[in-house]
Structure 1
């Protein structure tokens, strides 16, 4: 093929190619997370009880990137919740039945729009880690595997902006028999394989 023919072919392909589409979406969000409870037992004392996490607001950031197949995206999720954990029976430490803590989630997975677009209804599934961090450094911090499944809707506001509404269930796995937040001679142990929280959130998605 001569130079003139090659130039004509390149021009024809460029005219036939679709315009570049946005590939990344960044969405700060705010929401409300319903607490859950974890069964516990006191080693050697034979007493049972539960830890109840307080319902409270949550916030974070979701980042999506388009995958080659239409309607599919990769998803990074970072969430944060300030809450408290209260024992129904027993004490974390002398005169301490409730402790303030921050729950973090860092997860990665995928999102799917059944219609093959980047707006409308969607479902998502992500996996990662939960960090349970007491505000008092005398108590232990825990890291546990976590899984989130959910769905929602993205309303198209402009070509570069969407309103995203989410409802997701966040399951954090626990080692049954593992220690709870402890200080000194704490003998509390998890008596559960995990706990589930439900989060409803809303955020604006900026597409680039």
Structure 2
């Protein structure tokens, strides 16, 4: 199901559903991500370079469920970003200085409302995995551990509906010395412990 179709369905359900005790929420979101650079080096040589990820739109889903203590929720976060990676100086392959890729995150953690309610200001922290998947299957896909910390505000609209605004930092750990995106013989190596992305997003949280 496309994200737009899911968003339409969940919004319609929230508006027609009868008032019931809500235990979980689903929040489709759209946002924008900005990324730091990743240092790399050429294997067996002293030359170094940087991979720059293009800032671009993101989208995904956040699933929350209420915990026993008021104001605390479990959180499952899924995010997706279509972007490109560009080398400042070198080449991924002969004649190729940039590649298109999709970045996925699947993370689990918690969310906390200091006021003890299920709306208003909140902080969140989740941990999981980042998948760096080049669109060209000739290049390697990478899976790395990732951590996200953030905060935001949920505006109360109805008993079943919240407007959710998020600002989160997503840190992806890299193995220094591990191979980077390669096609055929690999000459590029990560020379960084990780990179940071900052995501600003808005969505509608549908409570069931």
Give the TM-score of the pair, scaled to structure 1. Answer: 0.90
5 Å matches for 1:30-109? 30-109=30-109
For the Cα contact (< 8 Å) 2:23–2:207, is it kept in 1?
yes
* Paired residues, number: 190
Q: How far apart are the structure 1 equivalents of 2:28 and 2:20? A: 24
Aligned twin of 1:133: 133
Aligned twin of 1:195: 195
Aligned twin of 1:14: none
Aligned twin of 1:115: 115
For the Cα contact (< 8 Å) 1:35–1:56, is it kept in 2?
no
Q: How far apart are the structure 2 equivalents of 1:23 and 1:33? A: 30
CA displacement at 1:20 relative to structure 2: 6.5
- For the pair shown, the structure with the greater C-alpha radius of gyration is 1
Q: How far apart are the structure 1 equivalents of 2:57 and 2:112? A: 26
How large is the RMSD of aligned CA atoms in angstroms? 1.0
Q: How far apart are the structure 1 equivalents of 2:91 and 2:160? A: 51
CA displacement at 1:185 relative to structure 2: 1.2
Give the TM-score of the pair, scaled to structure 2. Answer: 0.90
Q: How far apart are the structure 1 equivalents of 2:26 and 2:186? A: 42
For the Cα contact (< 8 Å) 2:92–2:183, is it kept in 1?
yes
In the alignment, structure 1 segments of 5+ residues that lack a partner are 1-18
In the alignment, structure 2 segments of 5+ residues that lack a partner are 1-18
Aligned twin of 1:142: 142
